[in-house]
Amino acid sequence: MRKKDFLPAFAFSRKKEVRMYYHEINLRTTGTAMMKAYILDEEITHRRHIKRPLMVICPGGGYLTLAHRESEPVVARFLGAGYNVVLVDYSVYFKQRPNPGEPGVVNQGFRIADAVQDLVQALNIIQENSDAWFIETSRIYLLGFSAGAHLVGTVAENYRDPEWQKRFRVQFTQLTLQGLILAYPMLTATEVNVKERDAFRDLMAREDILQLDLTQNVSAHMPRTFIWQGNEDQTVNPLTTTQFILKLQQAGVPCEYHLYEKGGHGVALADRTSATTPDYIVPNLAQWVTAVQVWLAQDDGELTLYPDLRE
Amino acid sequence: MRKKDFLPAFAFSRKKEVRMYYHEINLRTTGTAMMKAYILDEEITHRRHIKRPLMVICPGGGYLTLAHRESEPVVARFLGAGYNVVLVDYSVYFKQRPNPGEPGVVNQGFRIADAVQDLVQALNIIQENSDAWFIETSRIYLLGFSAGAHLVGTVAENYRDPEWQKRFRVQFTQLTLQGLILAYPMLTATEVNVKERDAFRDLMAREDILQLDLTQNVSAHMPRTFIWQGNEDQTVNPLTTTQFILKLQQAGVPCEYHLYEKGGHGVALADRTSATTPDYIVPNLAQWVTAVQVWLAQDDGELTLYPDLRE
Amino acid sequence: MRKKDFLPAFAFSRKKEVRMYYHEINLRTTGTAMMKAYILDEEITHRRHIKRPLMVICPGGGYLTLAHRESEPVVARFLGAGYNVVLVDYSVYFKQRPNPGEPGVVNQGFRIADAVQDLVQALNIIQENSDAWFIETSRIYLLGFSAGAHLVGTVAENYRDPEWQKRFRVQFTQLTLQGLILAYPMLTATEVNVKERDAFRDLMAREDILQLDLTQNVSAHMPRTFIWQGNEDQTVNPLTTTQFILKLQQAGVPCEYHLYEKGGHGVALADRTSATTPDYIVPNLAQWVTAVQVWLAQDDGELTLYPDLRE
Amino acid sequence: MRKKDFLPAFAFSRKKEVRMYYHEINLRTTGTAMMKAYILDEEITHRRHIKRPLMVICPGGGYLTLAHRESEPVVARFLGAGYNVVLVDYSVYFKQRPNPGEPGVVNQGFRIADAVQDLVQALNIIQENSDAWFIETSRIYLLGFSAGAHLVGTVAENYRDPEWQKRFRVQFTQLTLQGLILAYPMLTATEVNVKERDAFRDLMAREDILQLDLTQNVSAHMPRTFIWQGNEDQTVNPLTTTQFILKLQQAGVPCEYHLYEKGGHGVALADRTSATTPDYIVPNLAQWVTAVQVWLAQDDGELTLYPDLRE
């Protein structure tokens, strides 16, 4: 899979006045997967600029669809915290999601490895643009929700393996995957209880279930990891998550775990910004956003301003 | 001055996949003033959408320039809190700001009334686009820093006056200016101590100083108002701000005031997101961001999802 | 008035095992006014001890009674923040407060000056015990609610005046009144709207109203001051409070002011700890507790442990 | 062991004016173990009173000593949050703790079962006094640090077992142990790395190590449990803690777990209130205090005031 369409925002044409850069970049020639880069203006004050850490976000959706709630509201929250953000709309099972009365259109050839390829491709493109986008390449974070957590976890576990690098055409060797953030993560293909059961079963029938088990492939090379979940989660099993943390601890991976007694799945920020119904405003779960910012801040170095080398 | 160039983001061409809409719109034919609309995707979940309150931000800069620190980082913070945002890059004194060795280029004809016209024009354009941008028209907030606070304050005090409406071609009568947020506000043209003293003096020489005194024009029709400032502010006088709050109280305008014992001017968010040097990270001042979100949340109604009427 | 009864807690008899010291000390021979000292154990770890700053709390009650809500719950909150605390149950108008059907018993001779004397006496006793109670004498704070704020404000304004010192027998010259905290303060005797109107009027008939106006006696010698109030306060006028802050600013007294748009009088901590009914849980007002702790923390010096000089 | 000395505070003699009640009660005739009850005044406003939940605190110290840092500062914090508090100074190995040059005096007969008996005895006494102390008997919480966590955990796991009840003379059957809070808990007797190694080894030589393993005795009858720890803990193994949480989840015990990536053992509140040196101020760990208050608040029912039945 090669990088195809680079669609610059019209913004590039008048660089001096532009603030945020917004780029949509296809990850596949078919246009069925794309990444969206939200880049804050690097010029933080007159003629001086900074580089920013990057948050790469993969929403959930069971690998069947992409959850809105875990997409843009989360992008906005991290932009507001001073991160540049890339949102990865990776390949999924449904080309067109089902609606009442309509069965949906399935991407017949879809395999989870396609999604993995998409994330790798996104990271390759990020590396290519890291100067233009003023990214602190030593601070790339992967944040995934549910199946999106499975996706970022897959890359975090394997990206250093030479075989795997070859298979997925990894080029992003100059990026440091500094941290991994998993929100109510889908860590295995079993013990998952998604709404569209038949579709999920159909998808899993094509996959190698054992290969999908992230709990079996933890290694000391993984980035520091932050995991959170509600212990009343009915969609993915919180016991599996605790077992996963245990493996990280055993492997010596620096990790942080917030298992909240109450609350379930799919809440994204758990406050009004991402809520579709009042059910999705869960104050005790919303604590995760503050906790992750404290955890991320441990990587804050000194504020560095770069002299203006641009025209 | 009429609205001229409407530059749609390329995003419009492929509406379904687009998340955030980013629009730059000229406020003047000369291109010397513009507004930037940052519109979150209204589709909060599959086929259901919401409307969002709007934060209109005017950065400071003494009416001489526009402060970066009070622009995009602040935009990002409010996007992350679930607001759509319009940043107004209004007309200012310097067409090209001075640099070491260069005197800068002055916009000779500039008058503060031009900036006022720009903000009015932005609000007119917001009203025109309020459906397309899914704005809760009953929740428009004006947020200004320093001179930007003088600007939003000027509009908030006068926009209901018929004479004033005619002079500035106010059309945004269907918008409710629900709240006014003033950060270390420049409330008068005197007792202001900006860095570029000569330029400021030159500008003020052209103005009617009395007309610029916001403390003289408070009325009960003003929106609810939130003001904050550091009591060690050396640029604008915190005593004037306290006197202004007193007038709001006397006029019966609901208001909130946070005067912090320590801390000065120009800190924007006062945390790392807007900081250019460690001096600009002022934890006690950063409390204002949380306080304003509590104040804004008092307007939160019930979460309302709209049925999908789009194709 | 001299210090009469010193009632040591039984705790002194077995000093080594005792943690918190709790002392009740009469401020008057009649036993109608007392102070309660809550002293945390100075032995912070084996054989090393620290000194603590002291919070002196005066509850409100219109000088007619003493409000429970502003007494012990507030004591507990500041103990929990690492302060030693003295609660002053100063003389008030009612010897026995009225109940439905009972008129209450009035202390006929009561004058506000009696309450002032009580607070001075408490400070004198604090100075005498500052070593035994391991008080950081450079960090004495006065916190008053409503009429209690009037009381602490009176002392803060006058305690350096030689005449006043003589009149009230001030001995606490080795204490530094480092800060003054006023919660919805009664600053004058007018524009006050208490429940027991007749009693208040009777009391004020005996007083010199002008002498009671704190807004007239601000000076640069006052300690740094933190004031908060809800702008919907129906009992004391928030406009007076804003005018008072203006005077502090004009006098060059370092000050901080939090005027909350919504919320009224008498809420103490405004959370569950001090609430008697759900009305007294007012989340936007509860912000004051965090704000005052940030303000107080500005006086935190280095942690100092003292060697163990005790047996 | 029977309850022996009941030492009322002098406070009882003048009940009406007293605010906080402070009681020291021996748990053993030898006077080598005691409980300290800190009871907030139940009269929350004139003639109306409330009952409060109770926090029972067991400090750590490896069963060798009792840590100051985890005693009174923690008591004060929970009083400030509106809890009545009982601090249990349970029996420990050292009768007199060692000092430089002094070996310390060992309580030769000491067994961990003595400490367990002390906690049971404290709960029995609490039940006896629950009316007098205005305790909400449905909301008793046990909070333990390190070895103190082992102690409260031991009671929480066993107190419903009839054999165990007989052995330890459990009488507190009318109390509901509503929640268990374990701070960097010692869950087994192995993998513990305390400073006084020889003493700990000597103590453990007398014990049945298997009986001390809390991970082996989890049952569905345990109260809802909140556990926190720093993942850099060098004294007790965080892996054991994660395994323990897994067992709680497997048993269906509602639980919450906060494992912080950075930070170690013995920090108590991890802020200035309990700190002996700057090392003990660890902001990321201090988050636990807020998290536990959110967790506790889930048990808050309606505010209930009781009519005044006292004279």
Beta-carbon contacts of D222 under 8 Å, excluding residues fewer than 6 positions away, are D156, D157, D180, D248, D251, D253
Distance to chain B for C226, nearest Cα, Å? 8
Other C-beta atoms lying within 10 Å of the C-beta of residue A190: 11
What pLDDT is attached to residue D237? 97
Tell me the pLDDT tens digit for each residue of A236-256.
999 999 999 999 999 999 999
Interface test with chain C among B187, B244, B257, B262, by most C beta carbons within 10 Å: B257
CB spacing of B246 vs C242 below 8 angstroms: yes
Cα→Cα distances C241→B248, C106, C219, C281, D119, Å: 14, 30, 16, 23, 51
Using a CB-CB distance cutoff of 8 angstroms, which residues of chain D are in contact with residue A295? 261, 284
CB spacing of B239 vs C246 below 8 angstroms: yes
Q: Say which residue, B191 or B171, is predicted with more confidence.
A: B171
Q: Which residues of A touch D (CB under 8 A)?
A: 224, 226, 231, 238-239, 242-243, 245-246, 249-250, 254-262, 283-284, 287, 290-291, 294-295, 298
Backbone angles phi, psi at A127, to 5 degrees: -60, -45
Using a CB-CB distance cutoff of 8 angstroms, which residues of chain D are in contact with residue C46? 65, 68, 97, 99
Here the tokens at position A252 are 């010596």
pLDDT at B166 over 90: yes
- For chains B and D, having 3+ Cβ pairs within 8 Å is answered no
Q: How confident is the model at residue A98 (pLDDT cuts 50, 70, 90)?
A: confident
Residue D72 · residue C40 · CB < 8 Å: yes
* D102: β partners: D99
What pLDDT is attached to residue B3? 29
Distance to chain D for A243, nearest Cα, Å? 7
What pLDDT is attached to residue C15? 34
What pLDDT is attached to residue A61? 96
Using a CB-CB distance cutoff of 8 angstroms, which residues of chain A are in contact with residue D246? 239, 242-243, 246
Mean local confidence (pLDDT), C12-16? 33
- A165: nearest Cα among A135, A123, A216: A123
Residue A57 · residue A88 · CB < 8 Å: yes
- Report the alpha-carbon angle D261-A143-B45, nearest 5: 135
Using a CB-CB distance cutoff of 8 angstroms, which residues of chain A are in contact with residue B38? 20
Interface test with chain B among A14, A15, A20, A308, by most B beta carbons within 10 Å: A20
Mean pLDDT, all residues of chain D: 90
Using a CB-CB distance cutoff of 8 angstroms, which residues of chain B are in contact with residue A41? 68, 71-72
What single letter denotes the amino acid at residue C182? L
Q: What percent of chain B has pLDDT over 70?
A: 92
Mean pLDDT, all residues of chain A: 90
Mean local confidence (pLDDT), C191-206? 90
* B259: β partners: B229, C257
Integer Cα distance of B136 and B48 in angstroms: 16
DSSP helix, strand, coil percent of chain A (3-state; round to 5) = 35, 25, 40
Q: Which residues of A3-15 are buried (b: 16+ CB within 10 A; e: fewer)?
A: beeeeebbbeeee
Integer Cα distance of D148 and D142 in angstroms: 10
What pLDDT is attached to residue D20? 75
Distance to chain B for A305, nearest Cα, Å? 7
**Residue A219 DSSP SS3:** coil
CB spacing of D87 vs C40 below 8 angstroms: no
Integer Cα distance of D130 and D159 in angstroms: 19
For chains A and B, count residue pairs whose Cβ atoms are closer than 8 Å: 141
- A258: nearest Cα among D152, D283, D292, D216: D292
Interface test with chain B among A303, A308, A310, A311, by most B beta carbons within 10 Å: A303
What pLDDT is attached to residue A12? 29
- B7: nearest Cα among A10, A16, A7: A10
Residue B46 · residue A68 · CB < 8 Å: yes
Integer Cα distance of A50 and C84 in angstroms: 46
- B40: nearest Cα among A81, A25, A74, A15: A74
CB spacing of C20 vs D24 below 8 angstroms: no
pLDDT at B310 over 80: no
Beta-carbon contacts of A166 under 8 Å, excluding residues fewer than 6 positions away, are none
What pLDDT is attached to residue B43? 81
- C79: nearest Cα among D105, D74, A300: D74
Beta-carbon contacts of B62 under 8 Å, excluding residues fewer than 6 positions away, are B146, B147, B186, B192, B194, B195, B196, B199, B200
Beta-carbon contacts of C220 under 8 Å, excluding residues fewer than 6 positions away, are C251, C252, C253
CB spacing of D65 vs C43 below 8 angstroms: no
pLDDT at D5 over 90: no
Q: Which residue of C has its CA nearest to D14?
A: C24
Distance to chain B for A217, nearest Cα, Å? 34
**Residue D136 DSSP SS3:** strand
**Burial classification of residue B238, based on how many CB atoms lie within 10 Å of its CB (0-12 exposed, 13-18 middle, 19 or more buried):** buried
- A21: nearest Cα among A2, A4, A42, A49: A42
CB spacing of D231 vs A250 below 8 angstroms: no
D84, containing H or E segment: strand D84-89
What pLDDT is attached to residue B11? 31
Mean pLDDT, all residues of chain C: 90
Mean local confidence (pLDDT), B244-250? 98
Neighbours of chain A (3+ CB pairs under 8 A): B, D
Strand residues in chain B grouped as ranges (E): 6-7, 21-26, 34-39, 43-45, 48-49, 52-58, 84-89, 94-96, 105-106, 135-145, 177-183, 224-230, 255-260, 306-307
Q: Say which residue, B6 or D255, is predicted with more confidence.
A: D255
Here the tokens at position C152 are 């602490």
Using a CB-CB distance cutoff of 8 angstroms, which residues of chain B are in contact with residue C255? 231, 259, 261
Helix ranges restricted to H, B45-140: 72-80, 112-129
Which residue is associated with the tokens 């304003």? B292
Residue A24 · residue B11 · CB < 8 Å: yes
Using a CB-CB distance cutoff of 8 angstroms, which residues of chain A are in contact with residue D238? 249
Which residue is associated with the tokens 């996963």? A244
**Residue A140 DSSP SS3:** strand
pLDDT at A268 over 60: yes
Integer Cα distance of C174 and B136 in angstroms: 60
Least confident stretch, B177-186, D11-20, D21-30, D104-113? D11-20
CB spacing of B257 vs C262 below 8 angstroms: no
Integer Cα distance of D106 and D96 in angstroms: 7
**Burial classification of residue A204, based on how many CB atoms lie within 10 Å of its CB (0-12 exposed, 13-18 middle, 19 or more buried):** middle
DSSP string across C194-259: -S-HHHHHHHHHHS-GGGG-GGG---TTSPEEEEEEETT-SSB-HHHHHHHHHHHHHHT--EEEEE
- D151: nearest Cα among D183, D128, D176, D107: D183
**Residue A212 DSSP SS3:** helix
Q: Which residue of B has its CA nearest to A65?
A: B46
Tell me the pLDDT tens digit for each residue of A136-169.
999 999 999 999 999 999 999 999 999 999 999 9
Other C-beta atoms lying within 10 Å of the C-beta of residue C102: 9
CB spacing of B44 vs A276 below 8 angstroms: yes
**Burial classification of residue D261, based on how many CB atoms lie within 10 Å of its CB (0-12 exposed, 13-18 middle, 19 or more buried):** buried
Integer Cα distance of A55 and A212 in angstroms: 24
Q: Which residue of B has its CA nearest to C254?
A: B261
Mean local confidence (pLDDT), D247-276? 97
Integer Cα distance of B200 and A131 in angstroms: 38
> Cα A220 to the chain's mean position, in Å?
21
The model carries a pTM of 0.93
What pLDDT is attached to residue A43? 81
What pLDDT is attached to residue B19? 61
Distance to chain D for A167, nearest Cα, Å? 33
**Residue D271 DSSP SS3:** coil
Distance to chain D for C221, nearest Cα, Å? 30
What pLDDT is attached to residue B153? 98
Q: DSSP code of B273? A: T
CA contacts within 13 A on the Cβ side of C227: 33
pLDDT at B117 over 50: yes
Here the tokens at position D280 are 């003990």
CB spacing of D24 vs C41 below 8 angstroms: no
Residue B82 · residue A76 · CB < 8 Å: yes
Conformation bin of residue C78: beta by default, left when phi > 0, alpha when psi is -120 to 50: alpha
Distance to chain B for A283, nearest Cα, Å? 14
Integer Cα distance of C29 and C178 in angstroms: 30
Mean local confidence (pLDDT), C32-54? 88
Here the tokens at position B29 are 């034919």
Distance to chain D for C33, nearest Cα, Å? 10
Q: Say which residue, A191 or B60, is predicted with more confidence.
A: B60
CB spacing of A259 vs D257 below 8 angstroms: yes
Residue B133 · residue B8 · CB < 8 Å: no
Conformation bin of residue B285: beta by default, left when phi > 0, alpha when psi is -120 to 50: alpha
CB spacing of C20 vs D11 below 8 angstroms: no
**Residue A279 DSSP SS3:** helix
Tell me the pLDDT tens digit for each residue of D108-160.
899 999 999 999 999 999 999 999 999 999 999 999 999 999 999 999 999 99
Beta-carbon contacts of A159 under 8 Å, excluding residues fewer than 6 positions away, are A120, A165, A170, A172, A177
Q: What percent of chain D has pLDDT over 90?
A: 77
CB spacing of D284 vs A298 below 8 angstroms: yes
Q: Say which residue, B203 or C7, is predicted with more confidence.
A: B203
Residue C76 · residue D85 · CB < 8 Å: no
Least confident stretch, B43-52, D2-11, D236-245? D2-11
Helix ranges restricted to H, chain D: 72-80, 112-128, 147-158, 162-168, 197-206, 238-251, 283-297
CB spacing of C80 vs D40 below 8 angstroms: no
Interface test with chain B among A22, A27, A308, by most B beta carbons within 10 Å: A22
